[in-house]
Amino acid sequence: MPVLRGVDLRIDPGEVVGIIGPNGSGKSTLLRILATLLKPSVGQAEVLGARIGSSGILAARKRIALLGHHPGLWGELTLIENLTFVARLAGAGTERADLALELVGLGGAKQRRADHSSHGMQRRVEFARVLLTQPDLLLLDEAHAGLDKAAQALVEAAVGDVKKRGGGAVLVSHEPDRMLPLVNVTYQLEGGTLLGRKEMR
């Protein structure tokens, strides 16, 4: 049974797209396709100029950041080791890793192992990763989840940075109230189908 059906989505440079839909509507699957982690069984998808399934997708993947439901950290590494490792994989400089942790409020905890850090701290490290690697495509799955009120400004900062550099962002949520101030365009995802592009501003 297909999860997504007839999805037609284009993200322009500097555009922030919001996808709204209930749990189970296919939002996370759509993000995984955009992150090049899944290949559509029917149709085609092109991300940052590379068609998914082609040899060019490996280079494009380095320019994408996906923040999912669970922080993608290596538990046995410290917070700073996690950042420097990801920076090397992405081909970004590691010299800004300390600054990135400072910017998300974790400068004093950089030597703490990830698996000894709270969920909120791990989420902050993920936003430090975005600030460090400066992706051209930012994908946020329930971006505000796991962040305390003081840390929610990190979502706006990460989205604003990508947009300022002419990149694109996609935010998905089943709680649109916190997401809507950040996006230019919204779609409703129901039963695996995108409905109605709505310009926000």
Do 79 and 109 touch, CB atoms closer than 8 A? yes
Question: What's the rounded Cα separation, in Å, for the pair 59 and 72?
Answer: 20
The per-residue pLDDT for 32 is 92
The per-residue pLDDT for 69 is 78
The per-residue pLDDT for 101 is 95
Question: What's the rounded Cα separation, in Å, for the pair 130 and 125?
Answer: 9
CA-wise closest residue to 26 among 51, 5, 56: 5
Backbone φ/ψ region at 192: left (φ over 0), alpha (ψ -120 to 50), beta? left
pLDDT along the chain (201 residues), means of 10: 84 94 88 91 89 87 89 94 89 84 94 95 93 94 80 89 96 84 92 84 62
